[in-house]
Structure 1
Amino acid sequence: MNQRTLALIAVSIATLIYGITFTIAKDIMPNYVKPFGLILLRVSGAVLVFWTAGIFIKSKKIERKDFKSMAIAALFGVALNMLCYFQGLNLTTPISASVMMVTTPIIVLIVSSFMYKEKIIPRKILGIVVGLIGTIVLIIYGNKANGNASNRMLGNFLVFINAASYGIYLILAKKLIHKYHPIVFVKWFYLFGLIYVLPFGFLDLIEVDWATMPTDILLKVGFIILFTTCITYLFNLFGLKKLKPTTVSVFIYLQPVVATIYALMVGSDALNLIKIGSTILIFTGVYLVTKQVENSTK
């Protein structure tokens, strides 16, 4: 099995984990752990795991100039990404949130065009427009949809900001992971992230009543720390070493499929015309934007 195939499998597994996480995190928040407290748990757990693993990794030291790049990547890939994601998911429904994440490939294309001066052809411009129309429809009219959500409009908007920040992170991380061992990169990445999220999540975390928390919720918190945080980031980093950022971002449009199936199975969300229509528009936009990705060598 070649390295590219392994990278595709790794990114696929990460996508599966992310898809399930939409509903699992919704079960935890806000009754047992508030959004920012869950983020602090997630990032703290990742710091502990990766710095422990880093003890056994022999790799070259981080160059001083790259610490700034890592700090910026952590700002988008941990702080802004997670703060908006969990707070947004807390306010909206799992299916709506997963559909909003599909806009990431569009964001990656837009940011790449500015950073690397890549020309955007008319078909991709049309894809951006169609995808953003679907996003706007879901943000504005998704508040009329059913499901367990207290403020769908704000929640959907925050998940969109999360998707945009994650797209920027994919581009920023691409150069760094080619220079350093994935564990070395990610341990510093999460340490910077911990510094960012600590002020937001500290008060929420100390309010958690661990003694009365049901066993299934404890297991779900553990799942988010170990699988959604540690495993997915390592698998995505491995994918980024072998694939283009746009290719990795395309796998995000599998998340709504996994999230929808799981959410419907456990009864945490429901489908309606607004979600279906918005999804069709967003998927159409992503298809137009990423149509030639499969023709690339990576």
Structure 2
Amino acid sequence: MKNKKLEANLSMAVSKIFSGLNMNALKYLLPLWMSPLTGATLRCTFAAVAFWVIGWFMPPEKSSTKDKWLLFLLGAFGLYGFMFLYLAGLSKTTPVSSSIFTSLQPIWVFLIMIFFYKEKATWKKILGISIGLIGALVCILTQQSDDLASDAFMGNMLCLVSSVVYAVYLILSQRILSSIGAMTMLRYTFSGAAVSAIIVTFITGFDAPVFSMPFHWTPFLILMFVLVFPTTISYMLLPVGLKYLKTTVVAIYGYLILIVATIASLALGQDRFSWTQTAAIIFICIGVYLVEVAESKDKSPDPLKK
């Protein structure tokens, strides 16, 4: 078990580092080299094909037809909805702001657990949720649109909604994951997301100047990075962490997204230092700590392990 926990910790660290760099890579690509809708289609379709190919070389996993259909529908609505909203938001705001809302996911998880699954609402959780939401409001209400964020308010709102959608996806997929294999979950959720994405693309059109001639190697290589590392490898590593680590530990690794995205954004000139963003990050980190880590000292079961 010790080796499994080490593997899980390494998996989470690598996954979250890729997720942080993913924001900077996508910010470079959106919307100049591809539209958010096309970006979601490329990510979902590439990952679906990759997971089916990888799955052929892995031991078969047992699963029922009902589970497969549930995963497919979960991907078609939850995973695709998250990816589209997230890319649409990121195209209008900065990577640091989008990572702030991504870090709110543990708070949304507990709010959903409190309202729909009768999770115990202790004073630490309530205080943590309140502080985290204050951080989100600080970011939404103080960031102004500029040359780095074409529509900061709308972009931040889309990123916020995407984090709520992903929290719902995380809860439902984790419950199904307890009875099936990780590769089965990845295959069918991304297949569902890919089908939704392709249908939407047929209606709205495929908009990706990255593939136009004359060929542009820099955006193409950045797109390949997004498709291979943050999309495929990162999502493959995530179930390993969720299976062997407590949700409290997973939440702490979520801070890596903020750290990596902030450092990379400032280094690449995709964001500027802002005291209000810094305050928002501090509020959200404290909020997630109170909700996830401080609460782990009580003996209540991990809400995502029920």
Q: What is the TM-score of this pair, normalised by structure 1?
A: 0.92
Indicate the residue corresponding to 2:41 in structure 1.
Answer: 40
Structure 1 residues 112 and 213: alpha-carbon distance in aligned structure 2, compared to 1, 3 A threshold = farther
Structure 1 residues 268 and 178: alpha-carbon distance in aligned structure 2, compared to 1, 3 A threshold = same
Structure 1 residues 61 and 42: alpha-carbon distance in aligned structure 2, compared to 1, 3 A threshold = same
2:45, 2:143 → 1: CA distance? 33
Residues 92 and 156, structure 1, Cα contact 8 Å, conserved in 2: yes
Indicate the residue corresponding to 1:96 in structure 2.
Answer: 97
Moved more, 31-40 or 166-175: 166-175
- The CA deviation at 1:204 is 4.6
Indicate the residue corresponding to 1:179 in structure 2.
Answer: 179
2:295, 2:235 → 1: CA distance? 22
Out of 227, 237, 240, the residue aligned to residue 238 of structure 1 is: 240
Aligned length: 297
Q: Does 1:111 align with 2:112?
A: yes
- The CA deviation at 1:57 is 2.9
Indicate the residue corresponding to 2:121 in structure 1.
Answer: 120
Deviation readout 1:206-261 (Å, 9 max, x if unpaired): 55343234211111111111111111111111111112345324422221111011
| 1:133 partner letter | I
**1:243-262 alignment runs, 5 A limit:** 243-262=245-264
Indicate the residue corresponding to 1:168 in structure 2.
Answer: 168
Indicate the residue corresponding to 1:198 in structure 2.
Answer: 198
1:116, 1:246 → 2: CA distance? 18
Residues 127 and 289, structure 1, Cα contact 8 Å, conserved in 2: yes
- The CA deviation at 1:116 is 3.2
Residues 62 and 181, structure 2, Cα contact 8 Å, conserved in 1: no
Moved more, 202-211 or 214-223: 202-211
1:244, 1:112 → 2: CA distance? 16
- The CA deviation at 1:72 is 4.3
Q: Does 1:58 align with 2:59?
A: yes
- The CA deviation at 1:52 is 1.2
Residues 107 and 164, structure 1, Cα contact 8 Å, conserved in 2: yes
> Identity over the aligned pairs, expressed in percent?
29
Structure 2 gap segments, 5+ residues each:
none
Deviation readout 1:60-104 (Å, 9 max, x if unpaired): 443122134313431465211101110000000111111121111
1:260, 1:136 → 2: CA distance? 19
| 2:5 partner letter | R
Out of 216, 229, 247, the residue aligned to residue 214 of structure 1 is: 216
Moved more, 15-24 or 284-293: 284-293
Indicate the residue corresponding to 2:26 in structure 1.
Answer: 25
Indicate the residue corresponding to 2:266 in structure 1.
Answer: 264
Q: What is the TM-score of this pair, normalised by structure 2?
A: 0.89
Residues 124 and 295, structure 2, Cα contact 8 Å, conserved in 1: no
Secondary structure in 2 matching 1:33: coil
Moved more, 204-213 or 263-272: 204-213
| 2:181 partner letter | H
2:251, 2:282 → 1: CA distance? 18
In angstroms, what is the RMSD of aligned CA positions?
2.1
1:108, 1:147 → 2: CA distance? 34
Secondary structure in 2 matching 1:139: helix
Structure 1 gap segments, 5+ residues each:
none
- The CA deviation at 1:292 is 3.0
Secondary structure in 1 matching 2:206: helix
2:252, 2:106 → 1: CA distance? 6
| 2:59 partner letter | K
**1:282-297 alignment runs, 5 A limit:** 282-292=284-294, 295=297
Residues 98 and 159, structure 2, Cα contact 8 Å, conserved in 1: yes
Structure 1 residues 282 and 93: alpha-carbon distance in aligned structure 2, compared to 1, 3 A threshold = same
Indicate the residue corresponding to 1:224 in structure 2.
Answer: 226
| 2:191 partner letter | L
Residues 167 and 249, structure 1, Cα contact 8 Å, conserved in 2: no
1:171, 1:184 → 2: CA distance? 17
| 1:247 partner letter | V
Moved more, 203-212 or 219-228: 203-212
Structure 1 residues 76 and 141: alpha-carbon distance in aligned structure 2, compared to 1, 3 A threshold = farther
Structure 1 residues 47 and 75: alpha-carbon distance in aligned structure 2, compared to 1, 3 A threshold = closer
